[in-house]
Amino acid sequence: MQKLQIINEERFCDYSGNTPESHRAMAQLFIEQAHVYVQDLCFAMDENSQDLWHDVAHKYKGMAAFAGADALYKACQHAQDISATSKINKQKVLNSIEKETNRAIQELSDIFQTEHI
């Protein structure tokens, strides 16, 4: 396995099972779910729903922690903290979440040859 840089490899492997197959399956699941969470954040921002924004950011933060995606985790934590702020500020945070999401997905896709959805 190549060395992961965006994803904390040790943590990712600790949480995602003991076999290369389970690592690959979890990487695939992370990619699928990451897209769902980013879409949900966009929706929450457009609908100006503080609660939904907060809940999705919280959930995404949890998944980022499991995957060892530290920068993404911090971005989600920030999103959770600013759930009461304006749409402009949320857009900035969302951009940073999208950036970190893409980096994490790219790395997982490269390493585990998962389908890049």
Partner 1 sequence: MEYYPNLRFDQDHAVAKNDINSVQHWRCLHIEIKELPDNIDLERLAQKIFKIFQSLPGCFYFDPRARMTVFCKMQESIIIDDIAYKINSLIKADFMCRMGEQTILSNGIVSLQFIFSPTSSEKQKLSQEFIMQERLKRHHDIIMVVEDDLFARSIVKDALSSKFKLIEIDNGAKATQEYLSNSPDVLFLDIHLPNKKGPQILKEIMEVDPQAYVIMLSADANKDRIMECIKMGAKGFIAKPFNGEKLFNYIRRCPTIRVYC
Judged by CB under 8 A, the stretch of 66-74, 83-91, 97-105, 108-116 that binds partner 1 is 66-74
Q: What is the DSSP string of 14-58?
A: HHS-SSHHHHHHHHHHHHHHHHHHHHHHHHHHHTT-HHHHHHHHH
d(CA 33, CA 28): 9
Q: Which of 6, 7, 45, 67 binds partner 1 (CB under 8 A)?
A: 67
Q: By rule CB under 8 A, what count of residues binds partner 1?
A: 21
Start-to-end CA span in the chain (Å):
22
Judged by CB under 8 A, the stretch of 29-37, 39-47, 82-90, 96-104 that binds partner 1 is 29-37
Minimum Å gap between C-beta 68 and partner 1 is: 8
Contact call for residue 74 and partner 1 (CB under 8 A): no
Phi and psi at 17, nearest 5°, equal 100, -175
For partner 1, the binding residues (CB under 8 A) are 11, 14-17, 22, 25-26, 29-30, 33, 55, 58-59, 61-63, 65-68
